[in-house]
Structure 1
């Protein structure tokens, strides 16, 4: 793995010694020709800042949020999820591409977003997503009677109590098995999103094939029980992903960057995606000649049993580990899976995301050949300028070059919510809350607790409803006055 897809052996020679800062600061050229100034990547995090009815880029918020990330000296920015179907969202507030997105007015917003994100020389790509069966009623513009989509009609199960079942039935219901026409429409929507990113001036796009979203639903035998060309065997479960890669690459050739985010596993037990099948999915991506890098993550929203999902109540490290030739740090959550990819001698770069906090931990992963790129998600929210201020800053020695030690406070409140589908989602709300603060020109609040964020969301929702009602009354009064 390494520059332009060439294999780079671990840094073992004393004559070629590189410091931790040297390792993470080294530029990387992707197969498409896109040059990344260093190895640090701002991971896709849902900003939840777009507004109905069209969910176009909220430039007034992104001017604050993406300006911070642009100035932070990342090697690459990946946007938060951009939904490709306005009917199906995983959470209200995601940006969306829709048939009217190509209009001059809306395209101007996309171009301004791309300009803000890349103003300081860091390239930015757009993550394209579809939640599939994880699309709750009311998040997008789908009518209540319209079912969510899934490769097969497999309902979400999260908790065993009657309240869990009631909440899931109300929010998600039983998904509809996708017809071939549904699949064709989904492909068209993803391709439109990729072309939209290109025409707006972004450096490329990433397909979200992890965390229980639609593409990962096709890749997992738990949710894909089809017997046609899109399921039934490990190879056929990859049909949709392969089709998307080929059709997007046909419309968007290099220097457009095309990436895929994949699961190391979906943690659904013996009926779910097993590691060996996941490795074969990666193998196709790294050898097909159409992908520029693969991001590795894991888990899904239905079963939060991965290290990534279990890490909210656990305090992150407060002291940077030492880099030693004899012992690897293994700071990332999915290092074991990445090491197996390393054995493939991948000709394209691998990004490992989740769990990294220290300069030495990141450098060790690169030095050992486990990965080429380091993904930073939660750290990019709590300390949006972490690379420039700390990780790449020579004023910080290795012992002190790490993100703030932190855990999400108030986990007890999430645990006491009787419906797991509600309580289990509260920790991530802490990060949505802080991105809204950043979008408003404020700084992140690492001490905000889950109950505070919960009740703040209720208050903000009530205030928005009251303001909307007052606005309607004012307009109605003005209209009446004008008629008299």
Structure 2
């Protein structure tokens, strides 16, 4: 174990991780009405900061207060900068005080912003690279839900794109000022930057479309701009979608984009998967694409190992964080020993056992056969499943876990009062 998950890691920026276990991002839905972190954040992140993690990734922080993925997302709002900076400093200190690196995940939901989530007018259109609505499932109910909740987005013009790049930069600058060790640019799970990267959602014919390289331009521009605007040593990561179950052409295009992202100077890449149309990241890997995995991948425990292996062979030098499906120490060690990844991301197990690195995985007194991570599967009520709306029927589990995060924070507040 000492040679794998317990081993320290130094990233290119100079940030040092004491081990390879990373608390991955999850939906939290616990900001205040102004999109600021609350005492709930401070309590639960203190637990993670004390839990022995090599690195902690926050939940989504949206770069535009007008477009949120969830109504209670933390968001950048520079009109309230003094108060926001103060609260971000407190948030960052929960992990810094325990010498645990904390990285802020920054995001723009694009077309995946529900009506009413954000400061925009209720009937205002979402933004996307192309004016393509979400496909939330077969049937009239699913089509109605897509039209009513998300609508058909407006294709972004150059002014829109420039503004989004600037918002990512401003968010990164404030995160650095607040004491976060870095940011992770969210380009997965069907959100705005994923929409640019994918040929399925990007039908543009200008400099932001037509080829994998052009579709990656906005992500590359954000990375360069963030690097130029933040201090030396500030960590910049990117979260990308797996394309395990798409065509060889899609895999080739993704590898081409990954090479560009690596050359732009990122410190790590996280591999995850899914969107509101393919709910792998919502269900924790129980979508149809997950069910169709090879027996070899199933035996290896994690959800996206095939894709990780494919890109590792093409871009071996980039530090990879693999998130999704790890439930045993043996599975983590196997992935590390096979060089499939450099870091292990754990989300839902981290909710139920915030101290799992030091209390289970890295505790040498716990034998391998007992080093298993508790998790709970939640099934939506039959009426919701009956609707056929993929994101709705699969949302019961992440909703349950976000409630557990909030409840853990409330218990800590009550105990300290």
Under a length normalisation based on structure 2, what TM-score does the superposition of the two structures give?
0.91
- Given the alignment of the two structures, is residue 48 of structure 1 paired with residue 23 of structure 2, yes or no? no
Q: How does 1:174-189 map to 2 (within 5 A)?
A: 174-189=152-167
How many residues are paired up? 405
- Given the alignment of the two structures, is residue 134 of structure 1 paired with residue 112 of structure 2, yes or no? yes
Distance of 1:335 and 1:137 partners within structure 2? 35
Q: How does 1:388-403 map to 2 (within 5 A)?
A: 388-403=358-373
Structure 2 gap segments, 5+ residues each = 289-296
**How far 1:405 sits from its partner (Å)?**
5.2
**How far 1:273 sits from its partner (Å)?**
8.2
**How far 1:223 sits from its partner (Å)?**
1.0
The equivalent of 1:366 in structure 2 is: 336
Q: Tell me if the contact between 1:151 and 1:223 (Cα under 8 Å) persists in the aligned partners.
A: yes
Deviations 1:212-269 (A, max 9, x none): 00000000011111111111111110110010011100112431000000112296x6
- Given the alignment of the two structures, is residue 24 of structure 1 paired with residue 5 of structure 2, yes or no? yes
**Cα distance change of structure 1 residues 376 and 101 upon mapping to structure 2, 3 Å threshold:** farther
Q: 1:83 aligns with which of 46, 62, 84?
A: 62
Single out whichever of 157-166 and 105-114 deviates more from structure 2. 157-166
Distance of 2:283 and 2:211 partners within structure 1? 28
**How far 1:123 sits from its partner (Å)?**
0.5
**How far 1:442 sits from its partner (Å)?**
6.0
The equivalent of 1:456 in structure 2 is: none
Distance of 2:380 and 2:164 partners within structure 1? 39
**Cα distance change of structure 1 residues 308 and 428 upon mapping to structure 2, 3 Å threshold:** closer
Q: 1:431 aligns with which of 377, 395, 401?
A: 401
The equivalent of 1:194 in structure 2 is: 172
The equivalent of 2:293 in structure 1 is: none
Q: 1:279 aligns with which of 255, 263, 286?
A: 255
Q: 2:347 aligns with which of 377, 383, 397?
A: 377
**Cα distance change of structure 1 residues 92 and 119 upon mapping to structure 2, 3 Å threshold:** same
Distance of 2:407 and 2:135 partners within structure 1? 33
Single out whichever of 90-99 and 200-209 deviates more from structure 2. 90-99
Deviations 1:162-182 (A, max 9, x none): 221222111101100001111
Q: Tell me if the contact between 2:184 and 2:236 (Cα under 8 Å) persists in the aligned partners.
A: yes
Distance of 1:29 and 1:305 partners within structure 2? 30
**How far 1:433 sits from its partner (Å)?**
1.2
- Given the alignment of the two structures, is residue 223 of structure 1 paired with residue 201 of structure 2, yes or no? yes
The equivalent of 2:86 in structure 1 is: 108
**How far 1:282 sits from its partner (Å)?**
1.5
- Given the alignment of the two structures, is residue 94 of structure 1 paired with residue 73 of structure 2, yes or no? yes
Q: Tell me if the contact between 1:265 and 1:299 (Cα under 8 Å) persists in the aligned partners.
A: no
Q: How does 1:80-479 map to 2 (within 5 A)?
A: 80-103=59-82, 105-265=83-243, 274-288=250-264, 290-304=265-279, 309-311=284-286, 330-404=300-374, 406-409=376-379, 412=382, 414-417=384-387, 419-441=389-411
Q: Tell me if the contact between 2:134 and 2:277 (Cα under 8 Å) persists in the aligned partners.
A: yes
**Cα distance change of structure 1 residues 307 and 50 upon mapping to structure 2, 3 Å threshold:** closer
**Cα distance change of structure 1 residues 74 and 378 upon mapping to structure 2, 3 Å threshold:** same
Q: Tell me if the contact between 1:414 and 1:427 (Cα under 8 Å) persists in the aligned partners.
A: no
Q: Tell me if the contact between 1:129 and 1:207 (Cα under 8 Å) persists in the aligned partners.
A: yes
**How far 1:308 sits from its partner (Å)?**
5.9
Distance of 2:120 and 2:149 partners within structure 1? 12
Q: 1:68 aligns with which of 34, 47, 65?
A: 47
Distance of 1:78 and 1:55 partners within structure 2? 18
Structure 1 gap segments, 5+ residues each = 1-19, 314-326, 444-484
Distance of 2:4 and 2:285 partners within structure 1? 29
Single out whichever of 105-114 and 297-306 deviates more from structure 2. 297-306
Deviations 1:105-143 (A, max 9, x none): 221111111101222111101000000000111111111
Distance of 1:388 and 1:64 partners within structure 2? 19
Q: Please, what is the CA RMSD of the aligned residues?
A: 2.3
**Cα distance change of structure 1 residues 176 and 31 upon mapping to structure 2, 3 Å threshold:** same
